[in-house]
Amino acid sequence: MAKEATGRGPDGAALEGMLAVARFHREHERFHSMNGLEQAAEIRRDSNALKVLAQRWLEAAESGRSTLDYDDPRFQAAGCDDLNDKAAVATTGILFMEGESEPPEIGQMKTKLSGMAAGFDRTAGWLAQKMEAGWERESALLTPELASAAQPRFAALARTTLTGLGLGVVSRLLEAAVTALSAQVLVPAAVRKDLVGSAQLLLAASWLLDEASSVLAEQAADIARSDPSWTAYIEDLQAREPTGPPPGATPPEPFVVTAGPT
């Protein structure tokens, strides 16, 4: 329900509090505009690694395996020539080995992505609460005297609110990607039973990560666009700060210089 305007703006103490909120949150959003892009790039790198592996498995399904007997104990340390991509091994460390279990790097990737999903979900919930309070608090700006401050403040508030919603979507996408990665047993014998199906699940996970990365990068870019709005709002409120003594204050005694003895 829309709040009815009272026609009265915030008092001096309320303006001071609103200014304090703005100053610190502008700096916080400057951090997140950078951090969000870095996280988006990290997710995209994981996605690309999965694509490279999937492509290798699709090629292996066409060409078949080596005739070398990798069950021979002498070759237990050998990498799986049909499951590995040398570039992926060199850049990500993901190495499938004969007779071994899931590469630890894939397990670490799933753990990391699950943690990121949980973190984004918590942040989205926290932002939803703060933005609800923010819309209520900033409605005090909707007066003729403060209309110039209201415009940039609500522009920043709208972007932050949308960012919270976007982070909730990122969380869901990351959870779905982890589900796709966990839907198969990523050990050599199991992957070889259905190379094409295993590759398709990797591709599905990678495309979900691509979408999460894109949404996250867009949210970070949108937050960065709020910087001029924050600055205009802060400067507007600063110009309204009283410069003299508070009303009712007792003026100081005048300082009189007297001549000393001659």
Question: Over the stretch 73-120, which tens digit does the pLDDT of each residue have?
Answer: 666 667 888 999 988 899 899 999 988 889 999 999 999 999 999 999
Alpha helices in the chain (DSSP H): 12-63, 86-92, 104-138, 147-182, 188-193, 195-224, 227-240
Q: Write the pLDDT tens digit of every residue in 43-74.
A: 999 999 999 999 999 999 887 666 666 566 66
CA pair distance 132, 24, nearest whole angstrom: 18
- Domain residue limits at 52: 12-63+78-240
Q: Does 257 reside within a domain?
A: no
* Position 199 pLDDT exceeds 70: yes
In this prediction the pTM is 0.82
Cβ contact 180:109 at 8 Å: no
pLDDT at position 70? 59
pLDDT at position 160? 95
Mean pLDDT of 198-207: 97
Q: Does 255 reside within a domain?
A: no
* Position 172 pLDDT exceeds 50: yes
CA pair distance 183, 118, nearest whole angstrom: 19
Mean pLDDT of 186-201: 94
pLDDT at position 262? 46
Q: Does 73 reside within a domain?
A: no
Q: Partners of 97 in the beta sheet?
A: 79
- Stated as kind and residue range, the H or E segment containing 186 is none
* Position 260 pLDDT exceeds 70: no
Tokens of 215: 């949404």
Q: Give the list of residues 6+ apart from residue 9 with CB closer than 8 angstroms, or none.
A: 140, 141, 143, 145, 146
Q: Does 149 reside within a domain?
A: yes
pLDDT at position 88? 87
Q: Does 5 reside within a domain?
A: no
Q: Does 70 reside within a domain?
A: no
pLDDT at position 64? 65
Q: Please count the structural domains in the chain.
A: 1
Q: Does 28 reside within a domain?
A: yes
Q: Does 260 reside within a domain?
A: no
pLDDT at position 241? 75
